[in-house]
Amino acid sequence: MLIMLTMAMILLTISFVVMILASILSKKSFYDREKNSPFECGFDPKCSARLPFSLHFFLIAIIFLIFDVEIALLLPIIIIMKTSNLVAWVSTSIFFLVILLAGLYHEWNQGALEWTK
Protein backbone atom coordinates (compact mmCIF):
# COMPACT_ATOMS: atom_id res chain seq x y z
CA MET A 1 0.00 0.00 0.00
CA LEU A 2 2.87 2.33 0.81
CA ILE A 3 4.44 1.64 -2.58
CA MET A 4 1.23 2.61 -4.39
CA LEU A 5 0.91 5.80 -2.34
CA THR A 6 4.52 6.73 -3.03
CA MET A 7 4.10 6.00 -6.72
CA ALA A 8 0.91 8.10 -6.86
CA MET A 9 2.67 11.02 -5.18
CA ILE A 10 5.59 10.78 -7.60
CA LEU A 11 3.26 10.71 -10.60
CA LEU A 12 1.24 13.65 -9.31
CA THR A 13 4.43 15.63 -8.67
CA ILE A 14 5.82 14.89 -12.15
CA SER A 15 2.54 15.80 -13.85
CA PHE A 16 2.25 19.01 -11.82
CA VAL A 17 5.82 20.02 -12.72
CA VAL A 18 5.19 19.28 -16.42
CA MET A 19 1.98 21.35 -16.39
CA ILE A 20 3.74 24.29 -14.72
CA LEU A 21 6.64 24.13 -17.18
CA ALA A 22 4.26 23.93 -20.14
CA SER A 23 2.29 26.96 -18.99
CA ILE A 24 5.47 28.98 -18.40
CA LEU A 25 7.17 28.05 -21.66
CA SER A 26 4.11 28.27 -23.94
CA LYS A 27 3.24 31.90 -23.30
CA LYS A 28 4.16 33.85 -26.39
CA SER A 29 2.52 37.21 -26.18
CA PHE A 30 3.16 39.85 -28.77
CA TYR A 31 1.29 43.05 -28.11
CA ASP A 32 2.54 44.73 -31.25
CA ARG A 33 -0.28 45.82 -33.58
CA GLU A 34 1.69 45.07 -36.71
CA LYS A 35 2.54 41.53 -35.64
CA ASN A 36 -1.07 40.75 -34.76
CA SER A 37 -2.50 42.09 -38.01
CA PRO A 38 -2.82 39.93 -41.14
CA PHE A 39 -0.23 40.41 -43.86
CA GLU A 40 -1.17 40.93 -47.51
CA CYS A 41 1.97 41.79 -49.47
CA GLY A 42 2.79 44.73 -47.21
CA PHE A 43 -0.60 46.42 -47.58
CA ASP A 44 -3.44 46.76 -45.11
CA PRO A 45 -6.10 44.12 -45.76
CA LYS A 46 -9.29 45.25 -47.49
CA CYS A 47 -11.57 43.21 -45.28
CA SER A 48 -11.39 41.60 -41.86
CA ALA A 49 -9.28 38.46 -41.63
CA ARG A 50 -11.42 37.25 -38.75
CA LEU A 51 -14.53 35.92 -40.45
CA PRO A 52 -17.37 34.92 -38.15
CA PHE A 53 -17.78 31.19 -37.75
CA SER A 54 -21.21 29.73 -38.42
CA LEU A 55 -22.54 28.24 -35.21
CA HIS A 56 -25.14 26.28 -37.17
CA PHE A 57 -22.41 24.54 -39.17
CA PHE A 58 -20.62 23.69 -35.92
CA LEU A 59 -23.80 22.15 -34.45
CA ILE A 60 -24.36 20.06 -37.59
CA ALA A 61 -20.75 18.83 -37.37
CA ILE A 62 -21.18 17.88 -33.70
CA ILE A 63 -24.44 16.03 -34.45
CA PHE A 64 -22.72 14.18 -37.29
CA LEU A 65 -19.88 13.21 -34.96
CA ILE A 66 -22.29 11.95 -32.31
CA PHE A 67 -24.24 9.81 -34.78
CA ASP A 68 -21.00 8.51 -36.24
CA VAL A 69 -19.95 7.27 -32.81
CA GLU A 70 -23.40 5.77 -32.31
CA ILE A 71 -23.06 3.77 -35.53
CA ALA A 72 -19.68 2.54 -34.34
CA LEU A 73 -21.43 1.35 -31.16
CA LEU A 74 -24.24 -0.33 -33.09
CA LEU A 75 -22.00 -2.49 -35.29
CA PRO A 76 -20.70 -4.75 -32.48
CA ILE A 77 -24.29 -5.42 -31.39
CA ILE A 78 -24.84 -7.35 -34.61
CA ILE A 79 -21.63 -9.32 -34.19
CA ILE A 80 -22.29 -10.43 -30.59
CA MET A 81 -25.83 -11.65 -31.36
CA LYS A 82 -24.71 -15.25 -31.87
CA THR A 83 -22.62 -15.46 -28.69
CA SER A 84 -24.90 -13.76 -26.17
CA ASN A 85 -28.16 -14.55 -24.46
CA LEU A 86 -30.99 -13.66 -26.86
CA VAL A 87 -33.24 -12.04 -24.24
CA ALA A 88 -30.43 -9.89 -22.85
CA TRP A 89 -29.30 -8.99 -26.37
CA VAL A 90 -32.78 -7.93 -27.48
CA SER A 91 -33.47 -5.90 -24.34
CA THR A 92 -30.10 -4.14 -24.51
CA SER A 93 -30.43 -3.44 -28.22
CA ILE A 94 -33.97 -2.07 -27.88
CA PHE A 95 -32.95 0.09 -24.91
CA PHE A 96 -29.98 1.50 -26.84
CA LEU A 97 -32.08 2.17 -29.96
CA VAL A 98 -34.79 3.89 -27.90
CA ILE A 99 -32.18 6.21 -26.40
CA LEU A 100 -30.82 6.99 -29.89
CA LEU A 101 -34.29 7.63 -31.30
CA ALA A 102 -35.19 9.85 -28.34
CA GLY A 103 -32.04 11.91 -28.99
CA LEU A 104 -32.86 12.15 -32.68
CA TYR A 105 -36.43 13.25 -31.90
CA HIS A 106 -35.16 15.89 -29.46
CA GLU A 107 -32.69 17.30 -32.01
CA TRP A 108 -35.38 17.30 -34.68
CA ASN A 109 -37.85 18.97 -32.33
CA GLN A 110 -35.33 21.68 -31.42
CA GLY A 111 -34.68 22.39 -35.11
CA ALA A 112 -31.01 21.43 -35.04
CA LEU A 113 -31.33 19.29 -38.15
CA GLU A 114 -32.70 22.04 -40.40
CA TRP A 115 -30.18 23.39 -42.89
CA THR A 116 -31.83 26.75 -43.52
CA LYS A 117 -33.76 29.01 -41.24
pLDDT of the residue at 1: 86
pLDDT of the residue at 11: 95
For the chain, 117 residues long, the average pLDDT of each consecutive 10-residue run is: 92 94 75 62 62 76 85 86 89 91 88 73
pLDDT of the residue at 5: 92
- Does a structural domain hold residue 5? no
- Does a structural domain hold residue 48? no
Q: Which of 1, 6, 110, 4 is nearest to 59 (CA)?
A: 110
Residues contacting residue 37 through CB under 8 Å, at least 6 positions apart: 44, 45, 49
- Does a structural domain hold residue 100? yes
Number of domains in the chain: 1
pLDDT of the residue at 50: 66
pLDDT of the residue at 18: 94
- Does a structural domain hold residue 91? yes
- Does a structural domain hold residue 71? yes
CA distance 97 to 71: 11
pLDDT of the residue at 28: 65
Its domain, for residue 91, covers 53-112
pLDDT of the residue at 63: 83
- Does a structural domain hold residue 99? yes
pLDDT of the residue at 38: 62
